[in-house]
Amino acid sequence: MALELGCGEGQKSLWLARQGLLCTAIDISERQLDYARSDAKAEKLSVDFRNQSIESFSASEASYDLVTSSHAFEFVECPFRLIQRVANWLKPGGTFVLSTVHPVYNGDWVETEAEGTNEPICGRLLTNYFNPVDDVREQPEGHGTPIASRAYPVSAWFRAFRTAGLIVEHLEEPPAVRTPAYASDDWMDAFEECSAIPTTLILVGRKP
């Protein structure tokens, strides 16, 4: 059995269902889930899509072989506490795959000129690696207050996994990719700068 936390349009859960896994997928956006359910119906796939927040979800201990989450934990108020709950939901030998924003990516944009030329240089400046700035996202007009994407040092995520009793088997720091699923025009304009730094942190933990 598999669980996806913050599934969005459900692409990952649908892929897991194609592999024969029984999947539960939760997301706070009913609109995103409508797309997910429509795709599942079109492919005749069975996924248990639920409209609720990650923080409100609960499960019996040792329920899942796999828990996965992609770019949702940075919006959780207490992500490290949630990792402990995830560890409790895993069966012995189960795996937790977490993708989250890399702290370097939450730096501020800087623009300067190359020394001795008039060529512009753009990049990221992180004034304090151990306390990265929040990436505040404005909501569409009339749809609530802004939300913040919070980044944490790589060591803090690693420590949270180990504190929860998970063995970290893989840690990856991939750069940006050319065609991300949810990219704005501004982000794509800055692709060259983003491709020079890790934008995502991926940890794979296993419960003994």
Show pLDDT as tens, one digit a residue, over the chain (208 residues). Answer: 999 999 999 999 999 999 999 999 999 999 999 999 999 999 999 999 999 999 999 998 889 999 999 999 999 989 999 999 999 999 999 999 999 999 988 776 666 666 666 666 666 667 787 887 777 766 655 566 667 788 999 999 999 999 999 999 999 998 777 665 556 666 566 667 777 778 899 999 999 9
So what's the pLDDT on residue 131?
80
Distance set, CA 78 to CA 27, 63, 72, 115, 163 (Å): 17, 22, 12, 43, 14
Q: pTM for this structure?
A: 0.84
The first and second tokens of residue 47, run together, are 């996924």
Q: Are strands 135-137 and 23-27 parallel, antiparallel or unpaired?
A: unpaired
So what's the pLDDT on residue 56?
93
